[in-house]
A and B are shown apart, each in its own frame.
Chain A
Amino acid sequence: MVAFQRSWGLAAALAIALVIVVSGDALAQSGQPTSVNPTASSVKEGQLLDALKPPGSGPSAVTGRVSIPDTKSSVLIQPAGRDWRQIRQETLPFYGAIAILGMLAALVIFYLIRGRIAIDGGPSGRTILRFASADRFAHWLTASTFILLALSGLNLTFGRKLLLPLIGPEAFTALSQAGKFVHNYGSFAFALGVVLMILLWLKDNIPSGADLAWFSKGGGLIGSDHPPAGRFNGGQKVIFWVVVIGGVALSITGYSLMFPFVFTDIAGLQEANMLHGLIAVGMVAVILAHIYIGSVGMEGAFDAMGKGEVDLNWAKQHHALWVEKTEMKGKGAATPAE
């Protein structure tokens, strides 16, 4: 009885199996997929890339889920890297070269036309304190670190083309590695310098009506007429605000790059890097002009930040309002600039 039942069961199983095989063959021969297409709603890569685009924006990333702890690796494909590459390889070197070489050329032409701007009536021999030691410390802290940061930064943008073929890969890597350390550590001193400058000089750099008059007369750079100015003239105020706004922007973008994924994601890092480079080359160009006018371009100007004391005739020529105010206070020539 048991054997009979088992054979019946076997026969039934065989019959079912036969039906499945035959129908399967029939389906395969007709070239049709089996009854259910498990991927009828599956997505293709291209469709997904399009679907995930935020409205009205460029290409976005395909992001999913990962089971490893590194959650930022859940970005599968991020085509925005292409835009970043374009900016890094084309835009930044192009505008950087124009800004820096253009400024150098302009300065050379200016020097050839205008020459070194002399003190009217020559040096008087009497000096007046213009920048106290705290002022000069803030200036030179910012200036020295800015030069190091600018050189190490320019090396990342232009070094591969200009320097690498000259000194070879090993030496260039050693230099760039040192440059990276200088850039990362030096940034803290630079940021401190910018903060000190804000604390020391902000109150004298509020734009005023005198600045408009100063600019309308070309700041004394064009012609020989020197418009009166307070402690800082219009041009110096521009430098101040370029350094403060630029320095803060470079710090924010720079630190978000130095601590990747702490403040922002991959798209933010790309944007931070673009802004960092573009702002930096602009600042390099402006600072080149500042260095020129504070050294070879003008007689007596370097003493302000060098010794801290400037010739009285220089001060009257360039900062008449400041000299008046300082002397009105009755403290005379030995008083520091307020």
Chain B
Amino acid sequence: MARMKFLCDADRCIECNACVTACKNENDVPWGINRRRVVTINDGKPGERSVSMACMHCTDAPCAAVCPVDCFYTTEDAVVLHSKELCIGCGYCFYACPFGAPQYPKVGNFGSRGKMDKCTYCAGGPEDDLSAAEQAAYGSNRLAEGKLPLCAEMCSTKALLAGDHEMISEIYKERVSKRGYGSGAWGWKTAYKETINV
């Protein structure tokens, strides 16, 4: 099976936030939660870069390691998913996550943490593929339909790439060698303990 990853080419991202909007719309993400966000580094200074960031679906995912109720699992495509049935909303995955991916709806006692919500790589959850229950809890399951995550599919500058890591690494390498520069595969070293050398 594929090893699915995200790659954001920061030299192409124009901070249009369409990935953020597409994600919210495609997955009916609740109010106050952003599964994906665009962060601008060195804003207004030389070397300004924007990076679209969501769950990176890490190798040896920290969230899964620290979860007190063991609600995470990794799919055959190496996508890190979790069960909202089992999640208790303790917040531990958020402390551990290097990318700030886990989000909590402001429900439950003290309005602080409901059941965690994060990027599913448009791959739904533990419920049956493409079922209504899955759609309601996790959003769409585009992977089961043979499609890639919508954020990457509709990226206007093709800055955000999703797919098997060999394929997207190859695309990125080709780009960098053609244009002569590249600021790196953001977050890869942290998420996968490897990066793309070009």
Residues of A at the B interface (CB closer than 8 Å) are 33, 37, 39, 41-46, 48, 62-68, 70, 72-79, 81-82, 84-85, 88-89, 155-157, 159-160, 164, 169-170, 172-173, 176-177, 180-181, 184-185, 257-260, 266, 269-270, 273
Contact = CB atoms under 8 A, between A and B. Distances in A.
Interface stretch (B40-48, B117-125, B147-155, B159-167): B40-48
Nearest to B20: A68
Contacts of B41: 43, 48, 62, 64, 76
25 contacts: A64-B41, A64-B42, A64-B43, A64-B51, A65-B39, A66-B37, A66-B38, A66-B39, A68-B17, A68-B37, A70-B37, A73-B37, A74-B39, A76-B39, A76-B41, A77-B98, A79-B190, A81-B96, A84-B66, A155-B68, A169-B86, A173-B71, A185-B109, A257-B91, A266-B94
A156 B92 CA distance: 10
Contact of A85 (B40, B46, B66): B66
B1 interface: no
B60 to A, nearest CB: 10
A70 B95 contact: no
Contact of B109 (A43, A173, A181, A273): A181
Given A65-B39, A76-B51, A76-B99, A70 B68 contact: no
B68 A176 contact: yes
Contacts of A270: 95
Interface in B121-175: none
A159 B68 contact: yes
User: Which of B15, B66, B98, B186 lies at the interface centre, i.e. has the most chain A CB atoms within 10 A of its CB?
Assistant: B98
Contacts of A48: 41
Interface string B43-86: 10011010101000000001001111111000000000000011
Interface string B174-198: 0000011101111101100000000
B34 A73 contact: yes
A201 to B, nearest CB: 30
Nearest to B87: A173
A79 B99 CA distance: 9
B49 A43 contact: yes
A43 B94 CA distance: 27
A79 B112 CA distance: 24
A64 B96 contact: no
Nearest to B93: A81
Interface of B: 11, 15, 17, 20, 32, 34, 37-43, 46-47, 49, 51, 53, 62, 65-71, 85-92, 94-100, 109-110, 112-113, 179-181, 183-187, 189-190
- Grouping DSSP codes into helix (H, G, I), strand (E, B) and loop, the A interface class, with mixed when no group exceeds half, is helix
A64 B88 CA distance: 30
Contact of B95 (A75, A81, A181): A81
A180 B71 CA distance: 16
A172 B51 CA distance: 39
A85 B62 contact: yes
B3 to A, nearest CB: 20
A77 B41 CA distance: 11
User: Which of B53, B86, B88, B91 lies at the interface centre, i.e. has the most chain A CB atoms within 10 A of its CB?
Assistant: B88
User: Which of B34, B69, B110 lies at the interface centre, i.e. has the most chain A CB atoms within 10 A of its CB?
Assistant: B69
A72 B34 CA distance: 11
Contact of A46 (B88, B180, B189): B189
Contacts of A181: 109
A169 B51 CA distance: 37
B51 A180 contact: no
B89 A180 contact: yes
Contact of B88 (A45, A63, A65, A173): A173
A160 B88 CA distance: 13
Given A85-B66, A173-B71, 15 more contacts: A33-B180, A42-B47, A45-B186, A67-B17, A68-B37, A73-B100, A76-B41, A160-B67, A169-B70, A172-B69, A173-B86, A180-B89, A258-B110, A260-B94, A269-B91
